[in-house]
Amino acid sequence: MSDKERVDRLDDAIIEEILGMSGAEAAALVGAADVAASRKSLAQAKGMVGKLRLARAKADVALDAAGAAAIRPRTDGHRVNTLRKSDPALDKKMTLAARSGTANAEADAASLDEDLAELDAWEAQDRDRS
């Protein structure tokens, strides 16, 4: 088994353990301030996703009004670049990439796009529950 596979298995086990905790257990483990900060970050991320969706919808309407077919790039980089342009602080963090000052923009872009897709899925689940 490679080092990457070992780390992936460890990541999966940690995530499974965390997801199996109740809200009270997680709050006791990390503290109320961290829980509040995480909720605030998630709310901000959801707001950013909403703004991106609104901008996408406005662009589609403008293209439709102009008689053009709505063509939306589906590459990982497009969504990430749009998000980076809308948030200079995020752009700077991604550039530094929390890797002792070295950057790996492709890996960061793919990871961020996965996170955005996960947020989309959560929002879809929330809509289905309502």
pLDDT in tens, 37-91: 888 998 899 888 888 888 888 887 887 777 765 455 555 566 667 776 777 776 6
Tell me: do 26 and 46 sit in the same domain: no
In this predicted structure, the answer to whether residue 3 has a pLDDT above a threshold of 80 is yes
Say if residue 123 is exposed, middle or buried (CB neighbours under 10 Å; 0-12, 13-18, 19+): middle
Q: Is 10 among the domain residues?
A: yes
- Check: CB of residue 97 under 8 Å from CB of residue 103: yes
Question: Which residue range forms the structural domain that includes residue 74?
Answer: 40-129
88 and 64 part of one domain: yes
What is the 3-state composition of the chain as percent helix, strand, coil, each rounded to the nearest 5?
A: 80, 0, 20
- Whether 58 and 21 map to the same domain: the answer is no
Does a structural domain hold residue 35?
Answer: no
Confidence of residue 9 (pLDDT cuts 50, 70, 90): very high
